[in-house]
Chains A and B, each alone.
Chain A
Amino acid sequence: MNVLIDKLPQILAAFGTTLQLLGASALIATILGVVLGAFRVSPVPALRWFGTAYVTIFRNTPLVVVFIIFVVALPELGFQSSFFFRAVIALSLYAAAFVCEAVRSGVNAVQAGQAEAARSLGMTFSQTLRHVVLPQAIRTVIPPLASIYIALAKNTAVAEAFGVTEATYQLDNLVRDFPGSLWFLFFGIALGYVIIVFFISGIAGLLERRWAVSR
């Protein structure tokens, strides 16, 4: 227990890194995922195929392998950057595939009549998507998006194995010095993740209630 209190600054700093990883990659993944989702419902076949290929590749590859390619192999190609930055890239590319799927399912959940009405007003595909369909789709995809962010929060732990000193890294690190406190360290760090997860699902629940689409 003492270790947990003594090393609290160190553990909190590591959770700070976890949150930075989460924030940065959630932002990039969301933007990329929405663009890919738009590709997947677009009238241009080449873009649809690209979106499908992207999702198939990144959804079926383990995150660890994505990390191997983007965090370990890229520097060999001359992309020198910090571990943190490369970890964000790997996490974002991976999560974007799931965001894309969520967006697509949200778009499909919007009633066809809405888009038809928009078309009969003379809106183009991108206008329909931007002004009519996406705003409504985003409301319906809050629950799946929340689970993507929750999963992303837990996925940041993979960065541990690739040298980013985030929260899970500290279990590995501190246990070496304080082997007797393994259980305390585990539950202490686990509690941190539980708080993050409950925080995200709490916000999602709040938004869901506020923005609920009445059908």
Chain B
Amino acid sequence: MSQQTAQPAPKPDPKGKKAPKAKKAKRVRQPKVSQSSVLFDVPGPKARRRNLIGGILAGLAIAYVLWLVLRLLYEREQITWDKWTPFANLGIIRSLGEALGLTLLAAVVSIACALVFGAVFAAGRLSDHRWLRWPSIAIVEFFRAIPLVLLIIFLFIAYGNVTERFGALVIALTLYNGSVLAEIFRAGILAVPRGQGEAGYAIGLRKSGVMIRILVPQAISTMLPAIISQCVVALKDTALGLVISAPDVVSVARRIAINPQYDNILAVGLVLAAIFIAINYGLSRLAGWLEARQRRKGRAVVQVTNIPDAGMGGAATG
């Protein structure tokens, strides 16, 4: 991301102030495309006209497709009063709200446990002792490699009578996200410049001292954006509770949809999507803001995309 070029403060001009200022403002507006400016120059008048025409054509095409979709939905009687009124029903709003609360609770609890799990196994992977390192690697790799759905179903069938549906979901989320977080932690600790650890050893600290006093505190701030991205993944993955009918918002919403009285699966799907997009978009913005702040301070940021599986990983799974 290229930085916004610092705009020179307009110099006080005793006369003819207006005209040059207006011109300048117009020119500065262009490079908002910062990321893509690699590929094309700041468009001149001709290119701008061409882009405008292209934009209008593309916009019309998009609008046409949207209109086709809307017309289809209308013809199939999806945009009717009775498909959407359930969402104005107080009882349904309340049960959806309660279920959303449980979904958020599942995400928060499992992220909290996953942080502990991740810290323990990241430490295990970075250990000098082979008997500690190998089992840690095996466990982390195993839980990252298998589908979360498989894990959820297994836990529910094996221990469902103890953990209940909610517990099975939370434990599965913890094991999966904990394994991904372990990798994030490891990357964060390895990202601290080597000299820092060496300096620690030089003043006589032991490995645990170097870890706890020098590496971890610095790693935490570089990992924060990645951790928040993982929260988005965890929240999305709670939706997998559907496979064991956990009391999460997706399962409850589905029960509304299959009620013959409403029979509005599309409306339910769209409402669910809107809820998740709103929450996750907020979280992603927070992660992006933290990352930008880190960069501004000239600190390293653990790149989620470099850790196999983080970010989309489960994301995808979820």
Contact bitstring A53-89, B, C-beta under 8 A = 1, else 0: 0001101111111101100110011100000000000
In the complex, residue of chain B having the shortest beta-carbon distance to the beta carbon of A78: B76
Q: Is B47 within 8 A of A154, CB to CB?
A: no
Number of interface residues of A (CB under 8 A): 74
Q: Is B243 within 8 A of A160, CB to CB?
A: yes
Among B73, B148, B239, B310, which residue has the most Cβ atoms of chain A within 10 A?
B239
Q: Is B72 within 8 A of A147, CB to CB?
A: no
Q: Is B243 within 8 A of A161, CB to CB?
A: yes
Q: Is B35 within 8 A of A104, CB to CB?
A: yes
Interface of A is mostly: helix
Q: Is A198 within 8 A of B145, CB to CB?
A: yes
Contacts of A50 in B (CB 8 A): 58, 62
Closest-CB distance, B219 to chain A (whole angstroms): 21
Task: Choose among A44, A73, A158, A189 the residue that contacts B240 (Cβ–Cβ < 8 A).
Answer: A158
Give the distance in Å from the alpha carbon of A44 to the alpha carbon of B58 in the complex: 9
Q: Is B146 within 8 A of A115, CB to CB?
A: no
Assuming the contacts A47-B58, A155-B317, asked whether A150 and B36 have C-beta atoms less than 8 A apart, the reply is no
A190, CB-defined interface residue at 8 Å: yes
In the complex, residue of chain A having the shortest beta-carbon distance to the beta carbon of B43: A43
Q: Is B51 within 8 A of A44, CB to CB?
A: yes
Q: Is A76 within 8 A of B147, CB to CB?
A: no
Q: Is A76 within 8 A of B76, CB to CB?
A: yes
Number of interface residues of B (CB under 8 A): 71
Give the distance in Å from the alpha carbon of A154 to the alpha carbon of B73 in the complex: 32
Contacts of B201 in A (CB 8 A): none
Q: Is A69 within 8 A of B270, CB to CB?
A: yes
Interface residues of B (CB under 8 A from A): 1, 33, 35-36, 38-41, 43, 47, 51, 54-56, 58-59, 62, 72-73, 76, 78, 141-142, 144-150, 153-154, 157-158, 232, 236-240, 242-243, 250, 254, 257, 265-266, 268-270, 272-273, 276-277, 280-281, 284, 305-318
Assuming the contacts A107-B39, A193-B147, asked whether A69 and B309 have C-beta atoms less than 8 A apart, the reply is no
A3, CB-defined interface residue at 8 Å: no
Task: Choose among B33, B158, B236, B309 the residue that contacts A63 (Cβ–Cβ < 8 A).
Answer: B236
Give the distance in Å from the alpha carbon of A105 to the alpha carbon of B306 in the complex: 11
Contacts of A156 in B (CB 8 A): 147
In the complex, residue of chain A having the shortest beta-carbon distance to the beta carbon of B238: A62
Give the distance in Å from the alpha carbon of A154 to the alpha carbon of B240 in the complex: 13
In the complex, residue of chain B having the shortest beta-carbon distance to the beta carbon of A168: B150
Of residues 114 through 167 on chain A, the ones whose CB sits less than 8 Å from some CB of chain B are 115, 119, 125, 128-129, 133, 143-144, 146-148, 150-152, 154-158, 160-161, 167
Return 23 A-B CB contacts under 8 Å, by A number: A43-B51, A44-B55, A64-B242, A68-B250, A68-B268, A69-B266, A69-B269, A69-B270, A69-B273, A77-B73, A94-B316, A98-B311, A98-B316, A112-B38, A115-B38, A148-B312, A150-B308, A151-B309, A154-B145, A154-B148, A157-B147, A160-B243, A168-B150
Assuming the contacts A43-B47, A59-B315, A69-B266, asked whether A154 and B146 have C-beta atoms less than 8 A apart, the reply is yes
A36, CB-defined interface residue at 8 Å: no
Assuming the contacts A63-B239, A69-B269, A147-B308, asked whether A107 and B250 have C-beta atoms less than 8 A apart, the reply is no
Task: Choose among A44, A119, A154 the residue that contacts B147 (Cβ–Cβ < 8 A).
Answer: A154
Q: Is A144 within 8 A of B305, CB to CB?
A: yes
Closest-CB distance, A156 to chain B (whole angstroms): 8
In the complex, residue of chain B having the shortest beta-carbon distance to the beta carbon of A197: B145
Give the distance in Å from the alpha carbon of A146 to the alpha carbon of B316 in the complex: 13
Contacts of B284 in A (CB 8 A): 59-60
Closest-CB distance, B174 to chain A (whole angstroms): 17
Q: Is B36 within 8 A of A40, CB to CB?
A: yes
Q: Is A41 within 8 A of B35, CB to CB?
A: yes
Contacts of B317 in A (CB 8 A): 63, 151, 154-155, 157-158
Q: Is B268 within 8 A of A77, CB to CB?
A: no
